[in-house]
Homo-oligomer: A and B are copies of this chain.
Amino acid sequence: KIHPLTGYRKSCWYEEEIEENLRWSFALNSILHTAATQYQDIALLDTKPFGKALVIDGKLQSAEVDEFIYHECLVHPALLHHSYAKSIFIMGGGEGSTAREILRHKTIEKLVMCDIDEEVVEFCKSYLVVNREAFCDSRMELIINDARAELENRKERYDVIIGDLADPIEGGPCYKLYTKSFYELTVKPRLNHGGIFVTQAGPAGIFSHTEVFSCIYNTLRQVFKYVVPYSAHIPSFADTWGWVMASDSPLELSPEELDLRMKHRIKGENRYLDGKTFSSASTLSKAVRNSLDNETEVYTEGTARFIYGHGKHCQE
């Protein structure tokens, strides 16, 4: 028997079910804040392995130590592949980190961030110190609304539209923001000529990429001429994550050109992404590449796939 005086295990834990049969647990320093909004339950935890962690409806949204991977990957490839991105629309993104990364681009003149959950936005404004500056930036316009309704009603067009939403779960709140008809009839008409759409695309691991990643890719492939899927391992998510970038203009830049554009356009230095990193991230492994090539399913108003868990919070 172990002597109680000779040390003891950490006693407080955050525990998440990545899948029904798979759990991921972080030792806790403290539970900083909890709240229940009209749409979801939010918690801000201080975890030992990953720092402050934002949890919505029992799912980790982002962790202090590695959210930069997710947000750099979501934002910079699209903005850099655009010849000169001035106006951006974020669907979701209430946490503020996506806006923060966008506002590092010197080319940006206007940023619309449209999240449905005012209380999540307020919660993040109050507690996520790292994004406070972004929320105060004069270029940003914050809208509380359903992103689809908002995009449908707006007349103006954007250089880049970014989907920072929960995964497309059938019957779930965000499903309608991933369908072929939404991309065709709502997103594409709101892009300027040469415009780029990019969305987070769920888990992209060797097994998990079939949950939604391959289908988001295939749906976008029906609507846009050029579609680039890419992925990166995010430690706190215990998985590789995926994003898909799409446009009717070519999306081809060498690592060197990407590095050059980063140097000229982005304030400060990226921690995760550079030209080579993107080149690696957009070269998928054999198994995932084959799955994506052979995917036949398309998200339409009538179909969907289920996913267990992770994902940004919901929108509609």
* CA gap between A2 and B307 in the complex, in Å: 8
Is the pair B31, A30 in contact by a Cβ cutoff of 8 Å? yes
Q: Residue among A15, A232, A309 with the most chain B CB within 10 A? A: A15
Is the pair B31, A12 in contact by a Cβ cutoff of 8 Å? yes
A280 at interface, CB cutoff 8 A? yes
Q: How far is the CB of A292 from chain B (nearest CB, A)?
A: 13
Is the pair A4, B308 in contact by a Cβ cutoff of 8 Å? yes
Is the pair B17, A15 in contact by a Cβ cutoff of 8 Å? no
Is the pair B287, A271 in contact by a Cβ cutoff of 8 Å? yes
Is the pair A20, B15 in contact by a Cβ cutoff of 8 Å? no
Q: How far is the CB of A13 from chain B (nearest CB, A)?
A: 5
Q: Which of B10, B233, B306 contacts A3 (CB 8 A)?
A: B306
Q: How far is the CB of A232 from chain B (nearest CB, A)?
A: 7
* CA gap between A47 and B273 in the complex, in Å: 35
Of the candidate stretches A51-59, A116-124, A140-148, A293-301, the one touching chain B is: A51-59
A284 at interface, CB cutoff 8 A? yes
Chain B residues, Cβ within 8 Å of A45: 12
Given the known interface contacts A1-B308, A233-B240, A272-B287, the answer about A21 and B12 at a Cβ–Cβ threshold of 8 Å is no
Is the pair B19, A49 in contact by a Cβ cutoff of 8 Å? yes
A37 at interface, CB cutoff 8 A? no
Chain B residues, Cβ within 8 Å of A22: 25-27, 48-49
Task: Closest B residue to A284 by CB, please name it.
Answer: B280
Task: Closest B residue to A16 by CB, please name it.
Answer: B11
Chain B residues, Cβ within 8 Å of A273: 285-286
Given the known interface contacts A28-B12, A31-B28, the answer about A239 and B235 at a Cβ–Cβ threshold of 8 Å is yes
Is the pair B31, A21 in contact by a Cβ cutoff of 8 Å? no
Is the pair B20, A1 in contact by a Cβ cutoff of 8 Å? yes
* CA gap between A137 and B25 in the complex, in Å: 42
* CA gap between A310 and B61 in the complex, in Å: 26
A192 at interface, CB cutoff 8 A? no
* Mask: chain A, 56-78; 1 = CB below 8 Å from B; 0 = not: 01110000011001000000000
* CA gap between A274 and B284 in the complex, in Å: 11
* CA gap between A14 and B48 in the complex, in Å: 15
Q: Which of B26, B238, B280 contacts A21 (CB 8 A)?
A: B26
Chain B residues, Cβ within 8 Å of A31: 12, 28-31
Q: How far is the CB of A156 from chain B (nearest CB, A)?
A: 33
Chain B residues, Cβ within 8 Å of A287: 271-272
Chain B residues, Cβ within 8 Å of A250: none
Q: Which of B9, B19, B239 contacts A1 (CB 8 A)?
A: B19
12 contacts between A and B (CB under 8 A): A2-B308, A3-B169, A4-B169, A8-B17, A12-B14, A12-B31, A21-B27, A30-B31, A206-B235, A238-B238, A271-B286, A277-B284
Known contacts A22-B27, A280-B283; can you find 10 more A-B pairs with CB under 8 A?
Answer: A1-B20, A2-B20, A12-B31, A22-B25, A29-B31, A270-B286, A274-B286, A276-B283, A277-B283, A279-B280
